[in-house]
Structure 1
Amino acid sequence: MDIPGLPARRAALNLIDAVLRRGETLDQAAGTALARVRGDADRALARAIAGEVLRWRTDLDALIDSATRLPLADDAKARAVLEIMLVQVLRLETPAHAVIATGLPLLMGGPRRLAHGVFSTLTKAEAKLPEVPTLPEDVTERWGERWGDRIGAIAAGLTDLPPLDLALRNADETAEWAERLGGKSLMPGHVRLPRGTAIELLEGFREGAWWVQDLAASLPARLLGAGEGRKVLDLCAAPGGKTMQLAAAGWQVTALDSSKRRLERLGDNLKRTGLEAEIVQADALTWETETRFDAILLDAPCTATGTCRRHPDVLHRIGERQIGEMVELQSAMLERAAAWLAPGGTLVYAVCSLEPEEGEEQAGKVALAPVPIGAAELPEGLAPTAEGWLRTDPAMLAGEGGLDGFFVARWRRN
């Protein structure tokens, strides 16, 4: 029989391995890795351990290397187990005896004495992590070239898990829902809550008064304004946050996505909120339509490096190859989206990426008339760029809990 808590730690080890060795996202790996973990609490623990290891891995490895005479291989199982053990003590405040009891059994047949010795040495020395995570070397080099001195502030934005943002179905009820939920609003139609409450138990969930959506992720749809019955195409729409925003703003929405499973989630979300949209399962690169739309929102597939504060696996999976692949796909989708615009129609392009190749450089190639984003369209504390684009990163609005990294630009077909 397994030691209590051991399945969760084994699952965390498998999650980390899937990210580092196979390049999977934590979400992709979760189905297999968590299959034998019983109970929501243990599944949540496994994900929390894996996420914190990936967030702090550079610093955890530095501690491990400081306590070993000969360095462990980067892919050694003992290193991964020590990362799991240390992060529980240093970030999750798990008692050391519980960490040892559930950590060393992961090395059955392996160097348990070594792991025990390293862990004991570091805990007795009261080893600590730095105040801010150290980014992986390749990320530091890449973002250092792109963002210069700002990289330190971005890293600081990854220190803690982000708060919970809600997008409201009715923006006129912002003050009411902020009071009822005990949250804070940073702009109409938004409420921010501290993490920790089960979403399904929050007031307003069952009646569909709101949905979960990071504040930065809600900004692209807002930039299309009121729909007034006009036609909008939401490309790459699932799981539906932007589709619901557009429907709530009075647009006649066509929501297109290639994933059947994700579109089923979109349909469930529409049903819960009482909003309507035409759902189309298709590949945007091969889909054909005679319809010309008054507006198109292209929240394009991307590396998602802007979501690193909630998905730290991107710090270890994404490199120049993945960025290049996404750039090619985005360029093709932008070209097709522009062709579906009606005269006078508006195109909004967005990516949740911190890579300029996917954002600023893509926008510079679009042959439509720019419609600059205005400061009045954004939450207080954010400002458009000199080009009239929007760039956010995890360091922005730090005093309010931060933001995901996004790039957004807007054009009109004359």
Structure 2
Amino acid sequence: MATIPGHGARKAALKMLDAVLRRGETMEQAGGAANGLPDFADRALARAIAAESLRWLVDLDALIDSATKKPLPEDAKARAVLRMMLAQWLRLDTPPHAVVATCLPLLDGGPKRLAHGVFATLTRGEAALPSVPSLPAAVAARWGERAEAIAAGLAVPPPLDLTLRADDAGEGLDGESLAPRHMRLPRGTSVEQLPGFAEGAWWVQDFAASLPARLLAKGEGRRVLDLCAAPGGKTLQLASMGWRVTALDNSSRRLERLRQNCERTGLAAEVIEADAMGWHPEAQYDAILLDAPCTATGTCRRNPDVLHRIGERQIEAMADLQRQLLDRAGNWLVPNGKLVYATCSLERAEGEDIAAACQLTPDPVRAEELPVGLAPTPEGWVRTDPGMLADKGGLDGFFIARFTA
């Protein structure tokens, strides 16, 4: 059988969906299914099909169910293929004939006629998606009154945010700055071809992810521990702010990326590979930045898999680890030292509940410390989500609290 152009990308996308929805893998883990494709464009297409299928999964399923007499099983291969077919047509502007030619072969030996009939019914009826993706019911319940605004922020993938090494490091970049040492560019920008990449003038970092380090003063040669540091965006920030940084993480692969970023930017850090739950510092630190491991539901704009594979079990496990890490880190500060706790999670159990139970002295964040458009909570914490700064491209979801020893 002759190879159908584009079929390989669809096959890889189907494997990615299966990895996320059936095995609970992250998009990064599932992305291995596309790595074997020889063409960069096919690899990018496979990831785009999988991501858009996950981003709009609830609404795609509603369309599929509207065109079948009997609902397809949730884990049926025909449902998965139809999700991909509709995502390509409705979100990636792929012509229906191209969708049929490249996707139906995925059902060889299966219900090809059924899938073709459902797709044809929906295309003839000019089916459409809502302007805002629907969240899974359990996710909407967890996110409460902000769920609708967060969902609106998920409609399109996020722009590209850069953190600048110095105030004048944005020369040649044509974008919008939301704060000092920040530049936002349209999505789809080729990072390696931007001015300043080779010189290490900046690094890629979501704007919300840059906020925790911004809430520590200039280092002036003092010692800071970046706990759970890899892949290193906050390490680079702290080093550029004049801190002597110790960057600790237990992932050798991610620490290699941190070292490469330090080399590219010319910024220095002491790098330690260790598990924070068993590691002990030789001396106390003037400041600690704990960007704790979490469910990462705040990254749902770029990682829509978290909408479907994260539940109460994962949230409870992460919250328990976060409490333990915060308790340990609090003992590693000098008197009056500062600790910033952060997670890229939209779950109260990983943010507000952790901060409220912390035994360190709260150091409330002041409004003037935050970029225009953001404000601290009444408790002096910071909570961001994808519905904020929507007119400027939105934000990842983060929780941040600051304490004093």
TM-score, normalisation: structure 1: 0.96
- Paired with 2:36 and 2:393, the residues of 1 have a C-alpha distance of 34
- How far did residue 2 of structure 1 move? 2.2
Find the aligned partners of 1:400 and 1:186 in 2 and give their Cα distance. 9
> Are 2:168 and 1:173 equivalent residues in the alignment?
yes
- Please report how far the alpha carbon of residue 369 of structure 1 lies from its aligned counterpart in structure 2 after TM superposition: 1.5
Describe how 1:316-327 pairs up with structure 2 within 5 A.
Answer: 316-327=308-319
For residue 12 of structure 2, what is the aligned residue in structure 1? 11
Letter in 2 for 1:300: A
Find the residue that maps to 1:345 and give its secondary structure.
Answer: strand
Map of 1:211 onto structure 2: 203
Contact 1:7 1:36 in 2 (8 A): no
Alpha-carbon separation, structure 2, partners of 1:66 and 1:152: 24
> 1:132 — aligned with what?
132
1:305 aligns with 2:301: no
Q: How does 1:82-161 map to 2 (within 5 A)?
A: 82-144=82-144, 148=145, 150-161=146-157
Corresponding letter in the other structure for 1:168: L
Q: Does residue 1:391 correspond to 2:391, yes or no?
A: no
SS of the residue corresponding to residue 134 of structure 1 reads: coil
Indicate which of 275, 284, 292 corresponds to 1:292. 284
Q: Secondary structure at the match of 2:129?
A: coil
Q: What is the alpha-carbon distance in structure 1 between the residues aligned to residue 35 and residue 93 of structure 2?
A: 26
Query: Aligned residue for 1:225?
Result: 217
Runs of 4+ more than 4 Å apart: none
> Letter of the aligned partner of 1:359 in structure 2?
G
| TM-score, scaled relative to structure 2 | 0.99
One-letter identity of the residue aligned with 2:63:
L
Q: Distance in 2 between matches of 1:318 and 1:2?
A: 37
Shift in Å, 1:290: 2.4
Task: Quote the Cα distance in structure 1 between the aligned partners of 2:141 and 2:327.
Answer: 31
Per-residue CA deviation, residues 215-256 of structure 1 (Å, 9 max, x unaligned), is: 000000111120000000000100000000000000000000
Residue pair 2:72, 2:79 contacting (<8 A) in 1 also: yes
Matched-pair contact (CA < 8 Å) for 2:35–2:43: no
What are the within-5 Å matches in structure 2 for residues 328-407 of structure 1? Answer: 328-407=320-399
CA RMSD of aligned residues (A): 0.9
The superposition leaves residues 70-93 of structure 1 with CA deviations (integer Å, 9 ceiling, x where unpaired) of 110000000000000011010000
Matched residue type, 1:248: S
| DSSP-derived class of the 1:87 partner | helix
How far off its partner does 1:35 sit?
3.7
Q: Where in structure 2 are the equivalents of 1:31-50 lying within 5 Å?
A: 31=32, 33-50=33-50
Q: In structure 1, list runs of 5 or more residues that go unmatched.
A: none
For 1:153, the aligned partner's letter is A
Aligned equivalents of 2:221, 2:129: Cα separation in 1:
54
CA distance in 2, matches of 1:218, 1:289: 25
- Describe how 1:273-292 pairs up with structure 2 within 5 A: 273-292=265-284
* Cα displacement string for residues 297-331 of structure 1 (whole angstroms, at most 9, x for unaligned residues): 00000011111111000000100000000011001
In the alignment, structure 1 residue 254 sits paired with structure 2 residue 246: yes
Residues 1:24 and 2:25 are matched in the alignment: yes
Which deviations, in whole Å up to 9, do the C-alpha atoms of 1:10-45 show, x marking residues without a partner? 0000000000000000101112x1243111111010
- Counterpart in the other structure of 1:315: 307
Q: Secondary structure at the match of 2:199?
A: coil
User: CA–CA distance in 1 between the matches of 2:332 and 2:273?
Assistant: 17
- CA drift of 1:142 comes to 2.1
Runs of 5+ unmatched residues, structure 2: none
Q: Distance in 1 between matches of 2:190 and 2:204?
A: 12
Residue identity (%): 67
In 1, Cα distance between the equivalents of 2:373 and 2:29?
35
